[in-house]
Amino acid sequence: MNVDAAGLEREIDELAAISSAPAPAVTRILFSDEDIEARAWLRAKFSAAGLSVREDAVGNLFARWPGSEPWLPAVATGSHTDAIPNAGKFDGVAGVLGALEAVRALQREGFRPRRSIEIIMFTAEEPTRFGLGCLGSRLLSGVLGAAEAADLRDAEGRSFDGLRTGAGCSGSLDSVRLSAGCYRAFLEMHIEQGPLLERAGIDIGAVEKIAAPAAFRVRIQGEGGHAGALLMPARRDASLAAAELALAVERAALESGSADTVGTTGVFRIEPDAINSVPARATLEIDLRDTNLATRDRAEATIRAAADSIAERRRVQIGIEVINSDAPANCDEELVSMICDSTAATGCSVFRMISRAYHDSLFMARVCPTAMLFIPCRNGWSHRPDEFASREAVAKGATVLADALRRLAA
């Protein structure tokens, strides 16, 4: 299998340049000008490879290599190309362009698929725009309904419908959901976003399970006042209640009894945000994950209990809204072992592992048999401009993916 490692590296760099942040950072927010430009760039790449491209009502892109028996459920692969602010150039992109190069490598060697092979670029994997991640794959899998999606608004109050039609998407949201049995399998190649593969010197991670993400928006209402004249006993400072709650999130994760529980207060806003004004309001967004649902639910209950006691002690109101609360996904064992076979067939080392980040695979696992293959990234860094995967690591991932696609589509 001859993957064009240099060409793939060039394409990753070309796509990284379509960003609202200066290099080496990549920012490509859903339905932004950069996202729209990146979609056009990708469409051209898919067409140049002879794939037939279609886009659904929310901007999921499908690039199909028709098989000789096109009526059979296709083999799907892909990932996302949107990027959170000041991210890196491999998250998601490695799985979309790696899939494209895997298809081109199979074309170059004269492979003729019996089942069609379809590359999917999922819209909105990142939660940046609407606060909810995996919008495209949630709608494809039916986890998110059309009515809920239509209600989504971004921080400026712009509606999902307004933004998607502005980005050139058309069609009803009801038309997005995939029919059961539409795909034989779905494989996603992705950087690990953790340090295990690099530390162990292993080429490929065969993902067995994808951790369950939950996210909460917390609004805290205290009472503001003059920083000089309002004496301490009379204060109901929302920012201090928020600070205590953020520490409670950390404690709940550390004391859950499992190393797999992670809690992050990634958004922490206070108002009026002025040095000489006692904060009246605070907004937090909390990300809580675990590979085990019951352990995550217990951690959530601990955080809620902490919020109740903080609210009482500090005489503030604390409202907790669930943004999402998803179950973990098990990858399909037949596909996981097939990925291991493909690593052996291509001279790559492999070990089985868990994905602690969520991916579109979390939802595609509800549509069809699904598995992921990870490639190492430097120090496990991700969601930061110095995110890096070597040309060799990306090429090995594309090679193993190509071998797996050939097995599934033959």
Q: How many CA atoms lie within 13 A of 332 on its CB side?
A: 19
* 70, 77 Cβ separation under 8 angstroms: no
Return d(Cα 303, Cα 314) in angstroms, integer.
16
The stretch among 86-94, 107-115, 309-317, 390-398 that binds Mn ion (CB under 5 A) is 86-94
Task: Tell me which of Mn ion, ligand HGY, none is bound by residue 358, counting a contact when its beta carbon lies within the kind-specific cut-off of 5 to 8 angstroms.
Answer: ligand HGY
**Residue 133 binding partner per list Mn ion, ligand HGY, none, with a CB distance cut-off of 5 to 8 Å that depends on partner kind:** ligand HGY
Question: Given the rule CB under 5 A, which of 22-30, 52-60, 85-93, 272-280 is the region that contacts Mn ion?
Answer: 85-93
Alpha-carbon gap, residue 186 to 119, rounded angstroms: 9
Q: How far apart are CA 141 and CA 148, in angstroms?
A: 14
> Is 20 strand, coil or helix?
coil
Closer residue to ligand HGY in complex, CB, 133/376: 133
Burial track 318-350 (b if 16+ CB lie within 10 A, e otherwise)? bebeebbebebbebbeebbebbbebbeebebeb
Residue 276 beta carbon to ligand HGY: minimum distance, rounded to whole angstroms:
37
In whole angstroms, give the CA distance from residue 212 to residue 38.
Answer: 29
- Alpha-carbon distances of 383 from 34, 88, 284, rounded to whole Å: 18, 6, 20
Residue 92 binds to Mn ion (criterion: CB under 5 A): yes
Please report how close the Cβ of residue 90 comes to ligand HGY at its closest, in angstroms: 12
Q: Does 374 bind ligand HGY (CB under 6 A)?
A: no
Quick one: which of 194, 213, 117 has its CA closest to 353? 194
78 binds, among ligand HGY, Mn ion, none (CB under 5 to 8 A by kind): none
Q: How many residues bind Mn ion (CB under 5 A)?
A: 2
Phi, psi of 400 (to 5 degrees): -65, -40
Number of residues this chain uses to bind ligand HGY (CB under 6 A): 5
Q: Is residue 98 near ligand HGY by the rule CB under 6 A?
A: no
Nearer to ligand HGY, 184 or 289 (CB): 289
* Residue 248 site contact among ligand HGY, Mn ion, none (CB < 5 to 8 Å, cut-off depends on kind): none
Decide if residue 113 touches ligand HGY (CB under 6 A): no
**Binders of ligand HGY among 326-365, rule CB under 6 A?**
357-358
Residue of this chain nearest to ligand HGY (CB atom): 357
**Site residues, ligand HGY (CB under 6 A):** 125-126, 133, 357-358
